[in-house]
């Protein structure tokens, strides 16, 4: 093998290595974009869940307030729920 043929093989090897590194970098960048997009979707869904929980908490508070009002009408405002079963 001549010296010029060996130098040509080295250049091809370096070019192949550079191309492989470039393709790996492009693939990593694309994958990072996909992961970021999915995380954005998860974040939006979590925000929706938080809003739903807050809404349900308001409904529960309103229900509890109405129930307390009805218990007050039924058992009188001076008695507690624990006194119902007493003689």
User: pLDDT digit string (tens) for 57-84?
Assistant: 999 999 999 999 999 888 875 555 555 5
Return the CA Rg of the chain: 35
User: What pLDDT does 86 receive?
Assistant: 52
User: pLDDT digit string (tens) for 11-48?
Assistant: 899 999 999 999 999 999 999 999 999 999 999 999 99
Q: Is the pLDDT of residue 87 over 50?
A: no
- Reported confidence tier of residue 9, pLDDT bands at 50, 70, 90: confident
User: What pLDDT does 75 receive?
Assistant: 87
Q: Which string of DSSP letters, residue by residue, matches the chain? A: --HHHHHHHHHHHHHHHHHHHHHHHHHHHHHHHHHHHHHHHHHHHHHHHHHHHHHHHHHHHHHHHHHHHHHHHHH-TT--GGGGG--
Query: Please, what sign has the CA dihedral across residues 43, 46, 52, 56?
Result: negative
């Amino acid at each position: 093998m001549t010296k010029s043929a060996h130098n040509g093989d080295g250049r091809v090897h370096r070019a192949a290595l550079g191309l492989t590194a470039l393709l790996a970098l492009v693939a990593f960048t694309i994958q990072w974009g996909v992961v970021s997009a999915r995380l954005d979707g998860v974040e939006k869904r979590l925000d929706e869940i938080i809003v739903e929980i807050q809404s349900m908490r308001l409904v529960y508070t309103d229900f509890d307030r109405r129930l307390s009002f009805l218990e007050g009408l039924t058992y009188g405002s001076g008695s507690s729920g624990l006194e119902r079963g007493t003689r």
